Amino acid sequence: MEWLFIAVVTCLLALCPVEGDDWRLEYEEGLSHYSEEALRKEFPEKSRPISFKHPIFMCPDMSPSSSVPTSVELVRAADIKVIAALGDSLTTAIGANATTVLGIPIEFRHVSWSIGGYGSFQDVITLANIIRLFNPNLVGPAPSKTVHGTPAPLCETGFNLAVTGHNTFNLPEQVRHLIDSLKTYEDIDFDMDWKLLTVLIGMNDICDYCKDKALLTKLFLWQATDRRFFYSIK
């Protein structure tokens, strides 16, 4: 699906009527400055070799608790069984690994800061890969890329259920989706398994303020005074 989308966009760009090829030459020249190969040549001291690995991470005690903790104050990293994330494009990681304009619609969820599951800690440092050092059987890290605007199953998103472009008022539906997914996922004990959830959202509220000042003003007031919706959705 990703390559089909890119092919369609490429064809549409090729069919656009333009005068002369100056724009194309400037575009191609610009891309040359952003290619990985060009960056390695121009700034060798700031680039890493392809074979680069982060140092092995170890803690004195990486074991889980002897029994399932009954309070969050007692939870160890190895006790976390599930990881999830909600939010907007900062969590879907849209365009994060793009090297050309055609990569901008791609959501690189597998390298998202909070829940990316690409490789291991030595490949990409994400919160999910850090927790997997303590619990290799962690459920929920995002395993792959998705395309913005295209529905994707859990096998592609993991429990990264953030949605590019969402505002804070969209958060309850993300929470509902997450809870329903957790309750029906066969490898999860919804009541007993400890879960780590990150929520990062609000950037689009600021960007959209001028479009609907009345709505966003109420939303900002709600954010400042009422945090109870997480507890009201069961």
User: Sorting pLDDT into bands at 50, 70 and 90, what band is 148?
Assistant: very high
Give the chain's mean pLDDT.
83
pLDDT of residue 27: 60
pLDDT of residue 231: 43
Parse the chain into domains and list their residue ranges: 75-202
30-39, 183-192, 196-205: which is most confident: 183-192
Average pLDDT over residues 34-58: 75
pLDDT of residue 127: 97
What percentage of the chain has pLDDT greater than the value 70? Answer: 74
Average pLDDT over residues 124-140: 96
Question: Is 146 in contact with 105 (CB distance < 8 Å)?
Answer: no
| Buried b / exposed e along 75-112 (16+ C-beta atoms within 10 A) | bbbbbbbbbbbbbbbbbbbbbbeeeeeebebbbbbbbb
Residues comprising the chain, all counted:
234
Candidate from 3-12, 34-43, 211-220 with smallest mean pLDDT: 3-12
SS3 32: helix
Instruction: Pick the more confident residue, 103 or 141.
Output: 141
pLDDT of residue 46: 67
Q: What is the pTM of this model?
A: 0.74
Instruction: Look at strands 146-147 and 106-107 and give their pairing.
Output: antiparallel
Tell me: pLDDT of 14 over 80: no
User: Sorting pLDDT into bands at 50, 70 and 90, what band is 219?
Assistant: low
Distance CA 128, CA 60 (A): 20
pLDDT of residue 29: 64
pLDDT of residue 102: 85
Distance CA 163, CA 167 (A): 9
Distance CA 7, CA 105 (A): 13
Distance CA 139, CA 117 (A): 10
90 closest CA partner among 121, 113, 119: 113
Give residue for tokens 């140092």. 55
What distances in angstroms separate CA 31 from CA 13, 25, 26, one per listed residue?
16, 10, 9
Distance CA 147, CA 94 (A): 9
